[in-house]
Amino acid sequence: MKFGAMIENIEYVVTLDKPHGERGKMMLLQRDGAFETQWSLLGTDEEELSIQYAGPSLELAWQAAETLILDKIKQGYQLHNPFIPHLLETLSPRFTLSRKMGYYAAQHFNPSLYKELKEWRRSAAATNKLPPYIIATDKLLTLLAAFIPHQDQQLEQLPGVGEQRKAQYGAEILEITKKYEQPRPFPLGWVEEEVRWDTLAFWMISEHRLQKQKRQLRTEQERDERVHLLQLIKAATPIEEAIKQLNLSMEIVLKRIQQLAEMGYDPLEYVKSQVAAIQERQQITELVARLGGERLKPIYTQLYGTDEEGVERSEVGERYNRIRLVRAYLSWSEADKSSRALKGEVV
């Protein structure tokens, strides 16, 4: 077998050794349609090889690899030279301080503070009409809840806190974090020595697998949402009711409709029927043509004004949803006309 072809079938190779002692190699590979997790003791006249797992499941092979590595680390082995073809960039030996901070934070964050920060983020997202992750990612909340900054200069040391985020939300964040005792001092250079390279490498491998599993779950969830939405469309369910049944936002429902269209379904007539029920559809259409559809706020203020006093939050959300729906219909309708024209159909 050529070296290049062999490398393509290797999922993971790592060497582990004890200081001034034994040295071994763990390999996870694919061969003849099956996966193997192997452990071999190096440096002997005849390399000792043991199979930890052999079978059709990559998931079980990874579990065997993780169990083996953890067991060897407990025995005093240290992890060296990981080689993972699909993770070369992520698992480069040049681990940054920010990655070590991420690992440390995941192990030592304050759950009560994290919960309070999540509640603040939810409120800030609703106030600013932004997705929560734009306000702060889960990773940033974990860092905040682990290192607990009390000053602007300390806040700046956390990855993910840029000038804009600090200017917009720094004071609100510090108002919360100052209520909690700071467990370790700033600056955070001590994290570099606190977190061992091999521990970090193994954690990042596990994190990669976890993220892969989450992506797979999201893919399956999105598929189920599309199936349910298609049933609701066929039943001519009002889109407001569809949103409630699916427990999704208007943005996500429109995204799923777009995906259905890309898969060959034709939801345009359904969307058209929903737009027809919107009383202010003509004004929205004219405003989109005049102001563009990139931003909703200018359209909203032109249509409903800036004074929202006495207006229920739910009504504000419904107004924005009506704008989103009309905007999406206009965009899809125009795209449909262009597509039909290219095919020589009468439009």
What pLDDT, on a 0 to 100 scale, did the predictor assign at position 238?
Answer: 93
Task: Answer yes or no: same fold for 3-88 and 98-192.
Answer: no
Handedness of CA 76, 80, 86, 92 (dihedral sign): positive
pLDDT value at residue 47: 59
User: What pLDDT does 82 receive?
Assistant: 54
| Residue pair 200/93 in contact by the 8 Å Cβ criterion | no
pLDDT for res 11: 62
Q: Estimate to the nearest angstrom the gap between the alpha carbon of 326 and the chain centroid.
A: 29
User: Do residues 59 and 210 lie in contact, with contact meaning Cβ atoms separated by under 8 Å?
Assistant: no
CATH code of domain 98-192: 1.10.150.80
Amino acid identity for residue 34 in this structure: A
Q: Which CATH number fits domain 3-88: 1.20.1420, 1.20.120, 2.20.140, 3.30.160?
A: 2.20.140
pLDDT in tens, the chain (347 residues): 222 333 346 666 777 888 777 888 888 888 777 888 888 888 765 557 889 889 888 778 877 887 888 788 778 887 765 544 344 344 443 456 788 898 899 989 999 999 999 999 999 888 877 778 889 999 999 999 999 999 999 999 998 888 888 898 999 999 999 999 999 999 988 988 888 766 676 677 667 667 777 778 888 999 999 999 999 999 999 999 999 999 888 889 999 999 998 888 888 899 999 999 999 999 999 999 998 878 888 999 998 887 777 778 788 888 898 999 999 999 888 876 655 544 555 44
- Residue 149: per-residue pLDDT: 95
| Confidence at residue 347, expressed as pLDDT on a 0 to 100 scale | 46
pTM flag (> 0.85): no
| Close Cβ partners of 323 (under 8 Å, ≥ 6 residues apart) | 284, 296, 299, 300, 303
Report the pLDDT value the prediction gives residue 9, as an integer from 0 to 100: 61
Print the SS3 string covering 168-229: HHHHHHHHHHCCCCCCCCCCCCHHHHHCCHHHHHHHHHHHHHHHHHHHHHHHHHHHHHHHHH
- Domain positions in the chain are 3-88, 98-192, 266-347
